[in-house]
Structure 1
Amino acid sequence: MLKPKTTKKDTRKELESLVDEFIKAKGEIQQVDMGESGLVDGKYNTTHIGFSEPKKQRTPLPHVVAAIQERKHTPAPQKTSTSKRPIKKMLYDDFGEPLRWVWED
């Protein structure tokens, strides 16, 4: 049997009841300014930001870029059948009547 999906209304009620239980158990809710919880010692936590190293010089590779561009504009080679399987053909007589089947390579 499938459990009914929880709706947003149900989720809100559950959260409200949990907050009420917390307050009744002598819990205290602190109000903080927007964005303050992301600060460490009053500053943004920069340990996870990846801009601590100076910009590195890039090595120019024009021959590699030219080769890639050339491959983009040249058509791909046609795929050929790798397995040559014999083909079954019907042989006809001079009057167009079928005689027999033959296998051709």
Structure 2
Amino acid sequence: MKPAKSKKEQRQELDAQMREYLEHGGAINEVPRGISGRTDNRQPLPHVFDKKAESDTRTPVSEAIAAIEQRRKPKPPERIAQPKKHSRARKKIIYDEFGEPLRWEWES
């Protein structure tokens, strides 16, 4: 992973690119301070995020999303009833009243 460039290195790289652009015939147009891209600055900005205008252009897609989600989920495999396996017999130890082992018995 490369180390991130410092602000000083970024500034030097940008200055070098600008110098190279100007040396090869490029020109920079200077824009006076305070001027924006709007032609008439006296009128207020239009309401870009107007809720009423947004609701008219929206299309409900809940059915389409539900269909996509349904296709995305894998179908569960059909279960076939399988016969139960018989458990193996196990040896069980039998103790006497004093906790001493007496014998082994097979338990199924």
Q: Quickly name the TM-score band, shorter chain normalised.
A: 0.3 to 0.5
Give the TM-score of the pair, scaled to structure 1: 0.38
Structure exhibiting the larger radius of gyration computed from Cα positions = 2
